[in-house]
Amino acid sequence: MGIEWHIVNGSPLYSPEGWAKWWQYPPPYEGGYATPWCWIDGKSRGYQPNLWAGYVADELLVPTEVSLALSGEYNRSARTGTLTAVIHNAATSSLDAALLVAITEDSIYYVGSNGDTWQNHVLRDYVPDQNGTTISIPSGAYDTVTINYALDSTWVEHFTKVVAYVQSSSTQPDSSRPCYQAQAAPVLSFVGTAEPRIPESFYDNATVAVGPNPCRANAQFRFTGRAGRGYRLDIYSRDGRLVRELAGTINPGMNTLAWDRTDVRGRKVAGGVYGFRLVSTGTSAPGKLVLTD
């Protein structure tokens, strides 16, 4: 998912909050800014669009220990809605970041300076603003953020999305502002849903993370779920072949499970990118693990 910032004042797609967000990043081009420019997961990736897809593919392989779930409601008559985001930190250290919520619109006909006639993922609004909502989540804990939003009468709700992402609040030494997790949903997907409600137990939904990642020896999975339910952890190769299946019963709180890099026949598997999925009654949680030799 992406967000397209139009930062030229006077453009019909100009967003002051998008302009302000742009300036939160260090100047990437000879001490200044240039358009078009792309940041992927908070990292500067330059002005050559033909390279951006490759950068996106690389970032999709980077594992994360942060999960994000969205729920909400939308009132078509009032053109207002509520978004509830539940963030889980499965890392061994605390997470200090910001939750940013953007309203974007697709399929806008506008001839840009580069000749493109149809614009997608156009930023319409940051809610509450481009700084987001500050969150601080201890290891293994959750936080919940509820945001109210409204659509301008000129935005086409059929093409409007809510995009939420968790991003570092500070600039790193490499000038990046890492994004840890993101989710998006069409505004109309919230029509007719119940008032957002957090389950009585946050552990109703399974979560799983693994470390170290990348991993050379044993991998340690940490996961949560409804205590007393059975679970199955499937590990599979990049081509979808099942490599190993681990199973058991979920204990209260944070669970740990070690994998020794062996397959169903007890053979050590080669280095590479592997997928995994924790499955329990009525829920599942996926992830990726990089093994090195």
Are 166 and 213 within one domain? Answer: no
Return the pLDDT at 280.
Answer: 83
Position 220 in a domain: yes
- 34 sits in which H/E element: none
Return the pLDDT at 138.
Answer: 92
171 - beta bridge partners? Answer: none
Domain with 173 in it? 16-190
Are 169 and 247 within one domain? Answer: no
pLDDT > 50? residue 202? no
Q: What is the pLDDT of residues 4-32, one digit of tens each?
A: 888 888 888 888 998 888 888 877 777 77
Confidence of residue 56 (pLDDT cuts 50, 70, 90): confident
pLDDT > 70? residue 195? no
pLDDT > 60? residue 35? yes
Q: Which two tokens stand for residue 86?
A: 């539940």
Q: Tell me if 180 sits within 8 A of 166, measured CB to CB.
A: yes
Using DSSP's 3-state secondary structure scheme, residue 54 falls into: helix
Are 165 and 226 within one domain? Answer: no
Position with higher pLDDT, 107 vs 74: 74
Position 3 in a domain: no
Are 186 and 210 within one domain? Answer: no
Q: What is the pLDDT of residues 135-182, one digit of tens each?
A: 999 988 889 999 999 999 999 888 899 999 999 888 777 777 888 888
Position 110 in a domain: yes
How far is the CA of 235 from the CAs of 91, 259, 270, 291, in angstroms? 20, 10, 13, 12
Q: Tell me if 290 sits within 8 A of 63, measured CB to CB.
A: yes
- What is the distance between the alpha carbons of residues 215 and 232, in angstroms, rounded to a whole number? 21
- What is the domain-level CATH number for residue 212? 2.60.40.4070
Q: Tell me if 104 sits within 8 A of 3, measured CB to CB.
A: yes
Q: Which two tokens stand for residue 77?
A: 């008559």
DSSP single-letter state for residue 157: G
Nearest 10 degrees: Cα torsion 53, 56, 57, 62: 170
| Residues sharing a CB contact under 8 Å with residue 280, sequence separation 6 or more, in sequence order | 206, 225, 226, 229, 230, 231, 232, 250
pLDDT > 60? residue 101? yes
Return the pLDDT at 111.
Answer: 79
Mean pLDDT of the chain: 84
Cα 285 from chain centroid?
14
% pLDDT > 90, the chain: 30
From 142, 161, 190, the end of a domain falls on 190
Tokens 């614009």 sit on residue: 119
Position with higher pLDDT, 1 vs 4: 4
Position with higher pLDDT, 32 vs 278: 278
Mean pLDDT to the nearest integer, 213-238: 87
- 197 sits in which H/E element: none
Are 57 and 156 within one domain? Answer: yes
From 158, 190, 222, the end of a domain falls on 190
Phi, then psi, of 54 in degrees rounded to 5: -65, -40
Domain count, the chain: 2
- What is the distance between the alpha carbons of residues 130 and 132, in angstroms, rounded to a whole number? 6
